[in-house]
């Protein structure tokens, strides 16, 4: 395929992914609302564009990595959006929007003969930098085969299905489990510490036993026990993903009583600690409730 790509959204996830495309030899035209992020990619060899539409004037394939469904909708379909680009033929959305928004955007793009690829990613900022993300792609099989080399730059690529929104459903299911693991592990470790157990030893035992999960293997050792709280994903983003999952499950007629509790817990984290703080700070809420400190004092 054409080695000229466009990329809109150069934040914590998009910036490292765009840099990996440059390293892989792709020519890249980029855009972001933050000029410093654009400048950083230009310094690595990218071209700057003034708007998403200008990116779509320069590239056949445009990738999006954006924070929420409203921003994705505006970037894709707005007045200065990708949909108005003269050259673009394919839009790959790496964001988490939910299936309903993915289908809406795909239909609008299709009316302009632009193909939409629903391809959310999971694996955090570390995965974006290292190229170890899980990429959940939904699009016609032939287009998947064409685009797979690009997506493999980001990590392991999974073909989820042919219809827009299928990638989003997979991503929301995954992130609900991630949100659950983080909140539950925080409460379990706070309980142990309250009873006099050492939190580092607890994590070792959990990881050797049946309680092992993504929070105990990665987030707690890296961000909670050392109390850096800097894993790279915000409370607001986690709450958004849990909320989207519950909304779409409700629309599909699938009850999620456990998911409702998890969503409400992340809403409480956002209200208590702030949407922009790292999602590993969920441990602080468990600490406050138990009257303990997890990790270094």
Phi, psi (rounded to 5 degrees) for 198: -80, 125
The sign one gets for the Cα dihedral 104, 110, 114, 120 is positive
β-pair partners for 47: 29
In DSSP terms, 25 is beta-bridged to: none
Choosing from 79, 141, 152, 171, which is the catalytic residue? Answer: 171
Give catalytic status of residue 171 as yes or no.
yes
Dihedral sign (CA 249, 251, 253, 259) = positive
Q: Dihedral of the CA atoms 75, 78, 84, 87 (nearest 10)? A: 10
Interatomic CA distance for residues 115 and 9, integer angstroms:
19
Q: How far apart are CA 91 and CA 137, in angstroms?
A: 12
CB neighbours of residue 245 within 10 Å? 27
CA pair distance 120, 133, nearest whole angstrom: 10
Q: Which residues contact 252 (CB under 8 A, 6 or more apart)?
A: none
Query: Tokens 């954006």 map to which residue?
Result: 66
Q: d(Cα 230, Cα 136) in Å, to the nearest integer? A: 25
Catalytic residues, which ones? 171
């Amino acid at each position: 395929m054409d080695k000229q790509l466009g990329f809109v959204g150069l934040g914590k996830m998009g910036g490292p992914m765009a840099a990996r495309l440059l390293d892989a030899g792709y020519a890249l035209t980029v855009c972001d609302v933050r000029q410093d992020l654009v400048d950083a990619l230009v310094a690595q060899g990218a071209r700057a564009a003034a708007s998403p539409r200008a990116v779509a004037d320069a590239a056949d394939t445009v990738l999006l990595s954006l924070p929420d469904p409203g921003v994705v909708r505006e970037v894709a379909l707005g007045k200065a959006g990708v949909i108005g680009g003269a050259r673009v033929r394919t839009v790959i959305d790496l964001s988490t929007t939910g299936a309903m928004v993915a289908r809406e955007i795909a239909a609008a793009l299709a009316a302009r003969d632009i193909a939409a690829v629903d391809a959310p990613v999971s694996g955090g900022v570390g995965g974006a930098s290292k190229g170890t993300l899980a990429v959940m792609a939904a699009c016609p099989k032939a287009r998947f085969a064409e685009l797979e080399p690009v997506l493999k730059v980001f990590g392991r690529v999974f073909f989820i299905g042919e219809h827009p929104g299928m990638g989003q459903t997979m991503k929301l299911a995954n992130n609900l489990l991630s949100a659950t693991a983080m909140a539950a592990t925080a409460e379990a470790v706070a309980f142990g510490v309250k009873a006099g157990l050492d939190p580092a030893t607890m994590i070792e035992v959990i990881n050797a036993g049946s309680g092992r999960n993504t929070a105990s293997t990665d987030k707690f050792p890296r961000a909670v026990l050392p109390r850096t709280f800097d894993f790279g994903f915000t409370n607001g983003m986690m709450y958004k993903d849990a909320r989207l999952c519950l909304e779409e499950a409700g629309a599909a007629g699938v009850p999620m009583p456990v998911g409702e509790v998890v969503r409400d817990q992340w809403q409480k984290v956002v209200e208590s600690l702030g949407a922009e703080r790292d999602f590993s700070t969920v441990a602080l809420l468990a600490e406050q409730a138990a009257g303990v400190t997890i990790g270094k004092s």
